[in-house]
Amino acid sequence: MEYKKVTIASEINAQNLPKHIAIIMDGNGRWAKKKGLPRIAGHWAGAEALRDIVRTCCDLNIQVLSVFAFSSENWKRPAQEVNAIMNLLLYYLKKEVDLLHENNVKINVLGAWEELPQRIVEQIKYSLKQTKNNTGLVLNIVLNYGGRQEILSACKKICADVLEGKISQDDISEEIFKNYLYTQNLPDPDLLIRPSGEIRISNFLLWQIAYTELWFTNIYWPEFKPENLMEAIRDFQKRERRFGGLKK
């Protein structure tokens, strides 16, 4: 089954699309509370919202979509909620992988996912294997991830390589450092979207967002629609990116 095509709003300039969009999928709990539902119902609704956004990114020919699904700090939540999120992840991967595969989406998982419960690790391995040769949208599911932890682990790996003589200390550059991050050969995000009304980064892709355009909205993630993505892209296209240089 192929995704239903969305019509691309004419105000969007197809020549100036973000290559990489990152989203902090936040506000599930507050959405559920507003509806008088348990928090987990918000997480399930959030997974539904993701499906439409992935489809829209496919239609727009976006190269990379990174979605923050569970942070290293989210383990602080009650075990019951963490468990329910893990079950949802498993269900989402099982249920969505075929559809993603048919739509040429390549799944990537960023974060310390190998430390997750065994049943999830197995499903992730399967999903990665099934979609590894796909050439369409790269969907980075960011799981058990923290930006600081990622930078520290890159530092440790570089130290080990220096000690083993694989690289010399003088060779360490931004380009080399980048290869030790989960995002390795992917372009940095051009646009970062955070719904839910919080105006913060919450330890997401700290290294990679140095020059990313940030876009915030009060909408809770389960209510985030393709139109909202289009709105973010339209705003992105109005911004002037200077990267420290001067206006062209």
Please list the active-site residues: 26, 74
**Exposed, middle or buried, 205 (CB in 10 Å: 0-12/13-18/19+)?**
buried
26 binds ligand IPE (CB under 6 A): yes
Q: Which is nearer to ligand IPE, 33 or 101 (CB)?
A: 33
Q: Which is nearer to ligand IPE, 117 or 239 (CB)?
A: 117
Stretch that binds ligand IPE, among 6-14, 99-107, 166-174, 196-204 (CB under 6 A): 196-204
- Quick note: the x/- pattern for Mg ion over 12-51, rule CB under 5 A, is --------------x-------------------------
Asked if residue 40 binds ligand IPE (CB under 6 A), the reply is no
Task: Please name the residue that has the structure tokens 């003589």.
Answer: 165
Closer residue to ligand IPE (CB): 161 or 223: 223
At 134 the three-state DSSP class reads: coil
Q: Are 135 and 194 in contact (CB under 8 A)?
A: no
Helix residue ranges per DSSP H, the chain: 28-34, 39-59, 79-102, 118-131, 147-163, 174-178, 226-238
Name residue 192's beta-bridge partners: 22, 214
Q: Identify residue 132 by its one-letter amino acid code.
A: K
Cα angle: 55, vertex 56, 62; to 5 degrees: 100
18 contacts which partner out of ligand IPE, Mg ion, none, CB within 5 to 8 A by kind?
none
What mask of x and - would describe binding to ligand IPE in positions 150 to 189, judged by CB under 6 A? ----------------------------------------
194 near Mg ion, rule: CB under 5 A: no
Residues in contact with Mg ion by CB under 5 A are: 26
